[in-house]
Chains A and B, each alone.
Chain A
């Protein structure tokens, strides 16, 4: 017998009383791992990443050479304040609350254009995470061109309604300022002051740790892949004494007795731009019919401003002419003049099949803005000490109706001058999607799989079976696309569509061939140098022997040495 609680079985009415709307914000609260806030360490990186993405996108759209400051400041043992300042065009006052305190608000979701962010969920999610873990508000300073003051705002999200709540709103005299530092982390040169820009500051529960998945690595990779960017990074940890004091305040019994106070742990780096050329601003394109799912197709038919199916097809999609639209309608058995909003479910399925069965021109690809071979080289050379650099930008290609473009950079580094690189170490693969570094889930990413899939042995690198090749090599892999197919919303790994893997493989192989030429030449030179020093080591002994036997003069001895060197180098060293 089942035991029943309360007043008996639930009725439809009692169940209905418990059913209600779930706001996106609430959903996020419970599923924050989907957006990259699953651990304190990762949350710190995600917040920086979202803010930097936004800053770069804004600067590039505004035609401004980006100058960005990233500051991490530990405020308590498990708390950081993250502040990102840019010299972008600034944000008008009305938009500030929505951008920073409303999920799924943005300019990027509805259009097909290559940009760093895609969903408009990132920065407000960071703010909400901060709010959730510390109760603190997101603070924004923003000054637009020509304004006399900057807006200063503190906002929070009303998580129930996904609405911004403004806590304070004042005008302030503020200008974004960037202080470059030298190799020792000491300020050097005049600070860069901009008349416009935005600064966002979020306090959150976070943890700082160095390594491959750290903010340090993220900003470095950003600098590599955006050689037109100047980025100033500053990270300050609490000193032992300070965090001890915090602890002591919490646990009253504890007494801090540390006699020596170590200096605060600080990192201060300036990555200065290597080129002043702005990336081309990508064009916006209409979706290509082959890249549209049935649900999306139905939504588009509902939303269209066109009066007939035929004109909806030809004006809302790319590569569909009036004639092609007619063909599709015929194939689907739909009257071309039907009102698109009236297309029934069954008909839309027929339409979907007809579209898939129709041959169409590939989508336009001039909407992509690759980094460019010269820029990749500049970025790599700026941050790596290597003997060989190469870069390949592939021609654009298409997967599922989405244009994309693959770029590969490769550096053969001097192991002793680059941390973590060595002849016996796996190569380092730096992955980027629309210029954004991807630091997590490398193993699940199509880019890593493509690197593993190439036979590097034929290019002169050792490679264990089904693994990354070994060697002091850094590979930069970039995919530019209007829609990057991530495997999850946290945007860590790229899905392995056949067309993408193929392009990756071709690009990697081209770099591999160039590496092979370099390694071959270098091997030859090393061999020649080794032989030369061997010959030069023994020739003087030969001459000395002759001198002793024949009582040669020093001059005659020297002549023997010179003549022999010339003779042997000619035959053995190809000189």
Chain B
């Protein structure tokens, strides 16, 4: 692993005024179409799916392709169109102009005052929010929308320098002095600064329970690493945090997940190169310097875990086959194709906790040191 990854620039910080102007530009065009050009207004969005991304090897993440979808005003789209306009109006007038924030669920409830234009279910407003984000090419955090989910937990030899939301003064958080707890990654991480002189790498862990075990035994002191609990697929904030920390401190990143197609193709892949859904902003929310530590299909034999596995479920098999067929990242890496095929052949999956078979602390006494010593990771 190399500490000298290329550092892409931080996401372009767009001022609230500029974002508001962008919304006005979109609305202005629509207005002009209607009253001046007398044609049906359109909204153009980049298509948000794996079909519309390529794996940019040089930059190390999913880059969006040019495919766009056009939503023309019609009987079928009039409701969505109306909702889009009202949501844009709310975004501009209530969030950007007033420097306020809102959660996704608040957006949903806020629409209840819109009469028949209201969102009936939250997935409707979530989708529309994603549409607007893609259309404006501004990530929703910058529009004032905050994620509801937790960003992830951090411990280890790291000092995070945050600001007091009240007076803007620096607050130093020493992540070794949090006792048995951990520091929670906030939803916005652009303003954070780091001091991590003693750390040699970052270890991103899927499950909270394994994270707890490593914290409990102060594994980070032995291994000189920063531990991050992702709790499943890492959130945008979590990815951005790891990326900023890794870039800033020039630290390699290792991922430790369950050995199953979800751990490989969803958790790890998203951490490293971003998602198909949010391809338009992947370049900020990805960690190209990440490598995969385990659990790999090979580990099952190497660590005699055969009797601690579970048969692959139908959904697992489908996920693996889909990835082999459609995922540009997997298609680029022969090693990953081999690993997935290996797993399909074995027909089993293995969890991070499976090492407990050899004793509760086998994972930190034997497995992790062993893997780090071998220094051979999946890309």
Contact B24 A550 (CB under 8 A): yes
The reply to whether B86 and A537 contact each other, CB–CB distance below 8 Å, is no
Q: Which of B87-95, B100-108, B248-256, B275-283 contacts A (4 or more CB under 8 A)?
A: B87-95
A539 within 8 A of B: yes
Contact: A550 with B28, CB < 8 Å? yes
Residues of A542-564 at the interface with B, using a CB-CB cut-off of 8 Å, are: 542, 544-546, 548-550, 552, 556, 559-560, 563-564
Asked if B84 lies at the interface with its beta carbon under 8 angstroms from chain A, I say yes
Q: B55-95: which residues lie under 8 A (CB-CB) from chain A?
A: 73-75, 78-79, 81-89, 92-93
Which of A548, A563, A568: most chain B CB closer than 10 A? A548
Q: Which residues in window 219-234 of B have CB below 8 A to A? A: none
Instruction: Give, as a whole number of angstroms, the nearest-CB distance from B367 to chain A.
Output: 56
CA distance A537 to B75 in the complex (A): 11
Contact with A along B9-29 (1 / 0, CB 8 A): 000000000000001100110
Chain A contact residues: over half helix, strand or loop, or mixed?
Answer: helix
In whole angstroms, how far apart are the Cα atoms of A556 and B116 in the complex? Answer: 22
Q: Assess whether A559 is in contact with B74, with CB atoms less than 8 Å apart.
A: no
| Nearest CB in chain B to that of A573: its residue | B75
Is the pair A541, B83 in contact by a Cβ cutoff of 8 Å? yes
The number of chain A residues touching the other chain, given as a range, is 20 to 34
Report the minimal beta-carbon distance from A471 to chain B, rounded to whole angstroms: 29
Query: Which residues of A, 499-543, contact B by the 8 Å Cβ criterion?
Result: 531, 534-535, 537-539, 541-542
- Write the chain A residue with the least CB distance to B114: A541
Q: Which residues of A contact B30 (CB under 8 A)?
A: 546
Asked if B117 is at the interface of the complex by the 8 Å CB criterion, the answer is: yes
Instruction: Give chain A residues whose Cβ lies under 8 Å from the Cβ of B87.
Output: 545
- Nearest chain A CB to B295 CB, angstrom units: 50
Bound: A548/B35 CA distance, A: 16
* Residues of A close to B84: CB separation below 8 A: 545
B34: chain A residues within 8 A (beta carbon)? 560, 563-564, 567
Find chain A residues with CB under 8 A from B116 CB.
537-538, 541
B96 to chain A: closest CB distance in Å?
11
State in angstroms the CA–CA spacing of A567 and B34 once bound together: 9
Q: Please judge, given known A-B contacts A541-B82, A568-B73, whether A559 and B92 are in contact too, CB under 8 Å.
A: no
Q: How far is the CA of A549 from the CA of B91 in the complex (A)?
A: 9
A323 at the interface (CB under 8 A from B): no
Query: Which residues of A sit under 8 angstroms from B73, Cβ to Cβ?
Result: 542, 564, 567-568
Please tell me if the beta carbons of B89 and A545 are within 8 angstroms of each other in the complex. Answer: yes
**B345 within 8 A of partner (CB):** no
B interface, size bucket: 20 to 34
Using A546-B27, A550-B24, A550-B31 as known contacts, say yes or no to A541 and B75 having CB atoms under 8 A apart. no
Grouping DSSP codes into helix (H, G, I), strand (E, B) and loop, the B interface class, with mixed when no group exceeds half, is helix
Residues of A contacting B31 with CB < 8 Å?
546, 550, 552, 560
- Assess whether A549 is in contact with B75, with CB atoms less than 8 Å apart: no
Contacts of B27 in A (CB 8 A): 545-546, 549-550
- Indicate if A353 sits at the interface (CB-CB under 8 A): no
**A160 within 8 Å of B (CB atoms):** no
Nearest Cβ distance between residue B36 and chain A, in whole angstroms?
10
Q: Are A538 and B38 in contact (CB under 8 A)?
A: no
CA distance A34 to B321 in the complex (A): 81
Query: How far, in Å, is A100 (CB) from chain B's closest CB?
Result: 71
A389 to B115, CA, bound (A): 41
A568 x B74 contact (CB < 8 A): yes
Q: Considering the chains assembled together, what is the distance between the CA atoms of A42 and B81 in angstroms?
A: 66
Q: B40 within 8 Å of A by Cβ? A: yes
The answer, among B83, B93, B115, for a CB contact under 8 Å with A548, is: B93
A548 — nearest CB in chain B belongs to which residue?
B89
Contact A535:B24 (CB < 8 A) given known A541-B82, A546-B31: no
Residues of B within 8 A of A563 (CB): 34-35, 38
Task: Among A531, A545, A552, A559, find the residue whose CB has the most chain B CB atoms closer than 10 A.
Answer: A545
Q: Is the CB of A535 within 8 A of B78?
A: yes
- Min CB distance, B19 to chain A, in Å? 12
A559–B93 CA distance with the chains assembled, in angstroms: 22
Q: Is the CB of A94 closer than 8 A to any CB of chain B?
A: no
Cβ-based interface call for A19 (8 A): no
Q: Which residues on A sit within 8 Å (CB–CB) of B28?
A: 550
A538 with B79: in contact, given A563-B38, A567-B34, A572-B74 (CB under 8 Å)?
yes
User: Are B78 and A549 in touch, CB under 8 angstroms?
Assistant: no
B23 vs chain A, min Cβ distance (A): 6
For residues 44 through 95 of chain A, which have their beta carbon under 8 Å from a beta carbon of chain B? none
Q: Which residues in B have their C-beta under 8 angstroms from that of A559?
A: 35
Known: A559-B35, A560-B35, A563-B35. A534 touches B86 (CB 8 A): no
Q: Are B74 and A542 in contact, CB atoms less than 8 angstroms apart?
A: no
CB pair B93 A535 closer than 8 Å: no
B78 contacts A542, CB within 8 Å?
Answer: yes
**Chain A, Cβ-Cβ closest to B116:** A537
Residue from B35, B83, B114 whose CB has the most chain A CB atoms within 10 Å: B35
Considering only CB atoms, which chain B residue lies closest to A535 in the complex?
A: B78
Chain A residues whose C-beta falls within 8 Å of the C-beta of B89 in the assembled complex = 544-546, 548-549
Question: What A residues does B114 contact at CB under 8 A?
Answer: 541
Q: How far is the CB of A95 from chain B (nearest CB, A)?
A: 74
When chains A and B are docked, how far (Å) is the Cα of A549 from the Cα of B85? 8
A558 CB, nearest partner CB in chain B, Å: 11
User: How far is it, in angstroms, between the C-alpha of A556 and the C-alpha of B376 when the chains are bound?
Assistant: 66
Give the complex CA separation of A537 and B81 in angstroms: 12
Complex-state Cα separation, A556 to B35, whole angstroms: 9
What is the minimal beta-carbon distance from A552 to any residue of chain B, in angstroms? 7
- Contact yes or no, B38 A567, CB < 8 A: yes
Say yes or no: A541-B117 contact (C-beta < 8 A), given A546-B85, A563-B35, A564-B73. yes
A571 on the B face (CB < 8 A): yes
A564 CB, nearest partner CB in chain B, Å = 6
In this complex, which of B73, B85, B87 has the most chain A Cβ atoms within 10 angstroms of its Cβ? B85
Complex Cα spacing A462 to B223, Å: 76
B35 touches A545 (CB 8 A): no
Residue positions of A touching B, CB distance < 8 A: 531, 534-535, 537-539, 541-542, 544-546, 548-550, 552, 556, 559-560, 563-564, 567-568, 571-572
25 contacts between A and B (CB under 8 A): A531-B75, A538-B82, A538-B117, A539-B82, A541-B82, A541-B117, A542-B85, A544-B85, A545-B82, A545-B84, A545-B85, A545-B87, A545-B89, A546-B27, A546-B89, A549-B85, A549-B88, A550-B24, A552-B31, A560-B35, A564-B34, A567-B34, A571-B40, A571-B74, A572-B75
A560-B31, A560-B35 given; name 12 further pairs at CB < 8 Å. Answer: A534-B78, A534-B79, A538-B78, A541-B82, A541-B86, A545-B87, A546-B27, A548-B86, A548-B92, A550-B27, A560-B34, A568-B78
Closest 10 CB pairs between A and B? A545-B85, A548-B89, A541-B82, A541-B117, A549-B27, A542-B82, A538-B82, A545-B86, A572-B75, A538-B78
